């Protein structure tokens, strides 16, 4: 068989066809390879439009936080802390051992540190974007 590499016109539509065979393989190697997705949304005064929120994936005892967004005009009101607290509650409910995320130098490292996250890895590069920090918060004694 001959394969051709092409740039996908719609990367979002290409995700599932790429992911499906890897997920199928993972399921042969380890249970529950699909993980458990979790999301919290922020809306404003009855407007159903999502203005921010948190998206995470629990997988094999690890709770990965992929997105945390609080609208600029709502920052400093405790919404980020509330999102992270609800995410931690969900991680504990799912018996996860730790939570982890990544953030860039211009984003929210100090915020996550105030919540108990510590850097476990770093990628360097040109400022102001880099470094990129990989952070975790242990939820149990391991």
In a domain, 25, yes or no: no
Note whether residue 91 is domain-resident: yes
Specify if 60 maps to a domain.
Answer: yes
Within-domain flag for 18 = no
CATH of the domain at 83: 3.40.630.30
Mean pLDDT (the chain, rounded): 92
**Three-state DSSP class for 104?**
strand
Counting the structural domains of the chain, the total is 1
Q: What is the pLDDT of residue 32?
A: 81
- Could you read off the pLDDT of 37-87 as tens digits, one per residue? 999 999 988 788 999 999 999 999 999 999 999 999 988 899 999 999 999
Q: Is there a domain that residue 56 lies in?
A: yes
- What pLDDT band is residue 142 in, cutting at 50, 70 and 90? low
User: Which residue segment(s) compose the domain that 99 sits in?
Assistant: 33-138
> Cis before residue 128, ω within 30 degrees of 0?
yes
If you count them, how many residues does the chain have? 142
Local structure of residue 38 (DSSP, 8 states): E
**Rounded CA gap, 3 and 78, in Å?**
51
Contact call for residues 83 and 101 (beta carbons, < 8 A): no
Domain membership flag for residue 4: no
Distances (CA, A) of 137 to 55, 83, 97, 116, 118: 17, 15, 9, 6, 6
CA distance 127 to 110: 17
Tell me if 107 sits within 8 A of 97, measured CB to CB.
Answer: no
> In this structure, is residue 12 part of a structural domain?
no
Within-domain flag for 80? yes
């Amino acid at each position: 068989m001959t394969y051709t590499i092409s740039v996908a016109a719609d990367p979002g539509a290409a995700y599932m066809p790429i992911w499906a065979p890897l997920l199928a393989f993972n399921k042969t190697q380890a249970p529950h390879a699909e993980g458990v997705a979790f999301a919290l949304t922020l809306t404003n005064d009855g407007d159903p439009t999502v203005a921010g929120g948190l998206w995470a994936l629990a997988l094999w005892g690890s709770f990965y936080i992929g997105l945390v967004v609080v609208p600029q005009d709502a920052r400093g009101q405790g919404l980020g802390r509330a999102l992270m607290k609800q995410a931690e509650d969900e991680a504990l409910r799912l018996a996860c051992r730790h939570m982890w995320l990544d953030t860039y130098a211009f984003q929210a490292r100090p915020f996550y540190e105030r919540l108990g996250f510590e850097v476990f890895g770093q990628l360097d590069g040109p400022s102001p974007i880099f470094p990129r920090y990989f952070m975790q918060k242990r939820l149990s004694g391991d």
